[in-house]
């Protein structure tokens, strides 16, 4: 079926919201999109509810999906997701631009039983390695409440990928750090290394991991999980904001982000460097229009 059970919707959304409150969720991958339910719910709880934005130009969450069966495609997929990759998840994650990308949260809801066990084990290892926070994983019981064995499900809706090919139990998670959040639904802790702070001056951490820089010359040094030529910096613009100077670890090629605005607004700026860098400094610089000297950095990620 292009969907999954409903009994764990509330506990999953509660955990996603709690994770977002601790530190903003900016990137989500949904493996086995199906009808698009989990993508819509992720957009609902992170953007519509927690971020208080509704219209697409204001969305802050990057939402990516993978779905093997393109006949499931509907306007929901085109609207809710930033991009859906149509094809086999293992092939897509073995190569291409998704192979090196990390995500805060990865959903794999009742998808892993649709592939052979050895391939499923590889897929789970890969998802955990690309998740900075967690993989939300679920799978059906070997025998359901009506007595049907898992292998009784074959191709449905003309989709050969709907056939069940492997059986999973909690014992298969023994090598991972995980929490059960509902029957047969688990939050598996991710292993990917995200952006980290390695130095700072006149910087403090506020609610949900937002950093406040105060005073000309205040800075934060960020270390990136890999060398890259692009980073995304999400910042707050308002009347008390000055400018933010972004300088790569090499010390050359500084770029300025003007943070002044008459009305508060959060934006994401993509900064491109001339050569790959593993880190950069974000330093507060004066702005003659500003009514104060501060900068609010909501999040940073390597592209």
Query: One digit per residue, pLDDT tens: the chain, 303 residues?
Result: 556 667 889 999 999 999 988 888 989 999 999 889 999 999 999 999 999 999 999 999 999 999 987 887 899 999 999 999 999 999 999 987 788 788 999 999 999 988 999 999 999 999 999 999 999 999 987 776 666 666 666 567 666 667 788 989 999 999 999 999 998 899 999 988 888 899 999 999 887 778 999 999 999 999 998 888 999 899 999 999 999 999 999 888 999 999 999 999 988 899 999 999 999 999 999 888 888 899 999 988 887
CA atoms of 53 and 242, how far apart (whole Å): 25
pTM to 2 decimals? 0.75
Rounded to an integer, what distance in angstroms lies between the CA atom of residue 105 and that of residue 102?
Answer: 9
- Domains of the chain (ranges; CATH) run 9-189 (3.40.50.150), 196-302 (2.60.120.260)
**CA–CA dist 270, 23 (Å, integer):** 20
**Whole-number Å distance between alpha carbons of 240 and 242:** 7
Helical spans, DSSP H, in 114-171: 117-130
């Amino acid at each position: 079926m292009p969907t999954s059970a409903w009994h764990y919707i509330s506990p999953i959304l509660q955990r996603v919201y709690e994770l977002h409150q601790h530190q903003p969720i900016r990137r989500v991958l949904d493996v086995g999109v199906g009808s698009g339910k989990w993508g819509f719910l992720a957009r609902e709880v992170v953007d519509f509810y927690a971020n208080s934005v509704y219209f697409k130009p204001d969305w802050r969450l990057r939402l990516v999906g993978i779905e093997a069966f393109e006949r499931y495609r509907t306007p929901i997929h085109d609207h809710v997701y930033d991009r859906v990759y149509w094809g086999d998840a293992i092939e897509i994650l073995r190569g291409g631009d998704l192979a090196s990308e990390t995500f805060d949260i990865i959903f794999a809801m009742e998808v892993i039983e649709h592939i052979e066990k050895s391939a499923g084990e590889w897929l789970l290892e890969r998802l955990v390695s690309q998740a900075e926070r967690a993989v939300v994983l679920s799978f059906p019981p070997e025998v359901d409440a009506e007595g049907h064995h898992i292998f009784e499900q074959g191709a449905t809706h003309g989709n050969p990928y709907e056939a069940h090919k492997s059986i999973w139990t909690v014992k298969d998670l023994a090598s991972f750090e995980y929490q059960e959040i509902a029957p047969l639904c688990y939050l598996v802790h991710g292993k990917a290394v995200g952006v980290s702070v390695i130095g700072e001056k006149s910087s403090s951490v506020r609610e949900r991991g937002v950093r406040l820089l105060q005073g000309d010359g205040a800075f934060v040094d960020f270390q990136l999980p890999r060398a890259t030529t692009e980073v995304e910096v999400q910042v707050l613009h308002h009347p008390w904001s000055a400018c933010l100077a972004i300088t790569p670890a090499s010390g050359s090629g500084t770029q300025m982000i003007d943070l002044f605005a008459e009305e508060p607004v959060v934006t994401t700026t993509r900064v491109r460097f001339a050569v790959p860098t593993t880190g950069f400094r974000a330093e507060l610089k004066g702005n003659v229009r500003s009514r104060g000297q501060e900068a609010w950095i909501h999040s940073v990620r390597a592209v």
